[in-house]
Structure 1
């Protein structure tokens, strides 16, 4: 991992939104998810993208479930901020090596993760009320289930500590923590949310009549009422012309 590139991207993005403060980013593989020294704040990215290479069999794989932990702190009076980051590793699932391999990130991966980090800093360190609808975790489909038995973060109880996913679905589930999406995709997200809400209402309406006998009674009552109304209209029309 090239930390110089991480620092360069972080410096550029944080200066764009907080030009009066000086921030620095460092790597710290000893960070503890469960213990955060006050007044530091933590932020966890559970769906970063990265790649791995086994040092034993040289098998390579990519993952959309790379976990990155950040601890962040801002000294308001000194106008200085610090971020420490830790990346969690994965083991090779082909040769079943016991060694956890470090993730490698492309430039695009780093830029995306830093965007999410900046968002967390603005909310947790500056108290900004940002619109969370602009962010959500992108869970990539058709990439295969997450092999949690080979994931260091899962082994430490971090990756799966905040949610439960359906059986047989790996970590492909409805996201809880968002990651950045371009504004051009927000309309499609909003429309899909609306559709999902309508589908839920339809399901709930059906569920209220899930009992078969209740449904039959309702249908029979409706048919009887329609028959009575129809008969009345026929009788009324015949007498009208007598």
Structure 2
């Protein structure tokens, strides 16, 4: 990867935006989390070439990770680009992508926009542009041979975020599951006394409507106590 090209375009963009602080730009050989840094992810188009069979392919799912930090007017950007393998070779290794200069300029322009917005509270100078392609792409994204997918970082949203924060998905609730019905304990009252209770209860509550005389409440209570006592001694 031509690190000097990325660095040169980055420095020129900072100067054009009026940033006077010193910013260092470097490329990481391996992906690593940087706690407390801002992370900006872009999904860019690039091309790959297999070092074994010479096969070439293009991909629009090349994730570029930028980690940014500013301390005492000295900033630092660490970039990591995900690699891909050739799907035709069984012993294929991860190959570095090759970017068009136009896409490097677009990626750096978007990066500088984020830096000036997040660290200097400046308005966005230029709106993000779409990356350009230089040929046909080989079908859908090859998840098996993508380094980003293997590391579990290809799923990240292409936007600004803190690298020391995680997003937790809510637990899925099965709306179709049936709720268990509550079970109530069976009554211990003997069946021969249940009829009497029902009769007394209906007579006490509905005696005035059935035409019979209403049983006094204290007699009903006394009978209920007797029945409960008999039931407990059975």
Q: Work out whether the TM-score is over 0.5.
A: yes
Cα distance change of structure 1 residues 19 and 122 upon mapping to structure 2, 3 Å threshold = closer
Cα distance change of structure 1 residues 84 and 99 upon mapping to structure 2, 3 Å threshold = same
Q: Cα RMSD (Å) of the superposition?
A: 2.7
The equivalent position to 1:109 in structure 2, one of 103, 109, 113, is 103
Cα distance change of structure 1 residues 125 and 29 upon mapping to structure 2, 3 Å threshold = farther
1:114-156 Cα shifts (integer Å, max 9, x gaps) = 1111122123323445499x3376697x743111221110111
TM-score by length of 1: 0.58
Match of 1:30 in 2: 30
The equivalent position to 2:152 in structure 1, one of 153, 157, 180, is 157
| Structure 2 Cα separation of the partners of residues 92 and 29 of structure 1 | 20
**Secondary structure of 1:9 counterpart:** helix
**4+ residue runs of structure 1 moved beyond 3 angstroms?**
127-132, 134-140
| Structure 1 Cα separation of the partners of residues 159 and 20 of structure 2 | 29
Greater RCO structure (CA 8 Å; 6+ sep)? 2
The equivalent position to 2:114 in structure 1, one of 113, 116, 120, is 120
Cα distance change of structure 1 residues 82 and 18 upon mapping to structure 2, 3 Å threshold = farther
Match of 2:202 in 1: none
| Structure 1 Cα separation of the partners of residues 130 and 159 of structure 2 | 6
The equivalent position to 1:57 in structure 2, one of 30, 50, 53, is 53
Structure 2: which 5+ runs fail to align?
A: 161-234
| Structure 2 Cα separation of the partners of residues 98 and 124 of structure 1 | 40
Matched, 1:85 2:79: yes
- Determine which structure has the larger helix proportion and give its number: 1
Cα distance change of structure 1 residues 161 and 62 upon mapping to structure 2, 3 Å threshold = same
Matched positions, count: 158
CA contact (8 A) 2:117 2:123 kept: yes
**Secondary structure of 1:12 counterpart:** helix
TM-score by length of 2: 0.59
